[in-house]
Amino acid sequence: MAVEAAPAGTASREDPRLSEDVVCIEPGCVAVLDGASVPEGIGTGCCHGTAWYTRQLAAHAAALAQNPRFGLDEALGRAIGAVRAAHDSTCDLDNPMSPSATVALARWNSECLQWLVLADALVLVERTDDTIEVVQDLRDDALTPELSARARRHTPGDARDEARWRDHTVAQRAARNRPGGSWIARSEPEAAGHALTGSVDLRRVRSFAVMSDGAARLVTPFALTDWNGLAHTLREEGPAGLLEQVRTAEGTDGDAARWPRVKRHDDAAVVHCAPVRPRERARRRDH
């Protein structure tokens, strides 16, 4: 498998934060996690922070996913449990603002590709028959239409918009990870059972990509291209080229007037993978 990743940098070069997006690549599997931002001034009950949580969870999830006896949902559930145990004694993990992350996992062997998606991270599979499958969990948007609509009207830096966003974020987190709500990786291992999972015969896969929503902004919400276009960019320009295009687009709309959004720039991470078949290997050797 040829694997190429764009390092999970922060939203912009001037941004001193630690990126809350994390990429973890292990033999036979890839994990991309996107830590959920916490509005300033809101307590989370955790003394470690979102970047710590996301790195811990990515490492555990990628390590456990290497065990073929575990389904990807079981691997993620065990990883959430392991991270919970790592800070249960120091932090209030029943606080709904406790660190949380969206998750996209891909695992492969010589025959098959498997994926898992929880919340708005994505897996994009480009098949050999030229069709594209996008796996993204949009249940959160469906459950909180008011919040989604608010995001579409949001002006970053506007005090009233920021205050409203804070209130809605608190309400959204309180409704998550409970029956009838949407699910995200937080401190409840059972959330993994609500992830979207699937698999495909590896012979039918031309390439696949695992990414955070920040890397998919050219398609949604910017609508500058479609999934085919995004796959084309990944093929031609690689993950770094894709993220460069995202940053350029964000930069042309610095005041978020054309594309209203909560964050002018978003952390972004993407890994692009392509099975290297014996014939292609031979051809590469010959040239």
Strands 270-274 and 132-136: unpaired
Among 5, 33, 91, 124, binds Zn ion (CB under 5 A): 91
Q: Which is nearer to Zn ion, 99 or 275 (CB)?
A: 99
Within 13 Å of residue 75, how many CA atoms lie on the same side as its CB? 29
Q: Which is nearer to Zn ion, 48 or 235 (CB)?
A: 48
Among 1, 31, 46, 61, binds Zn ion (CB under 5 A): 46
Q: Which one of 2-10, 39-47, 175-183, 251-259 is the stretch in contact with Zn ion (CB under 5 A)?
A: 39-47
Q: Is 87 in the site for Zn ion (CB under 5 A)?
A: yes
How many chain residues bind Zn ion (CB under 5 A)?
Answer: 4
Residue keyed to tokens 């590896």: 202
Q: Is 48 in the site for Zn ion (CB under 5 A)?
A: yes
Asked if 150 and 158 touch (Cβ cutoff 8 Å), the reply is no
Tell me if the bond preceding 221 is cis, omega within 30° of 0: yes
Q: Is 154 in the site for Zn ion (CB under 5 A)?
A: no
Q: Detail the DSSP E strand segments found in the chain.
A: 2-6, 21-26, 29-35, 101-108, 112-118, 122-127, 132-136, 196-201, 205-211, 270-274
Q: Is 217 in the site for Zn ion (CB under 5 A)?
A: no
Q: Is 186 in the site for Zn ion (CB under 5 A)?
A: no
Tokens of 28: 């036979």
Q: Closest distance between Zn ion and the C-beta of residue 182, in Å?
A: 22
Where does this chain bind Zn ion (CB under 5 A)? 46, 48, 87, 91
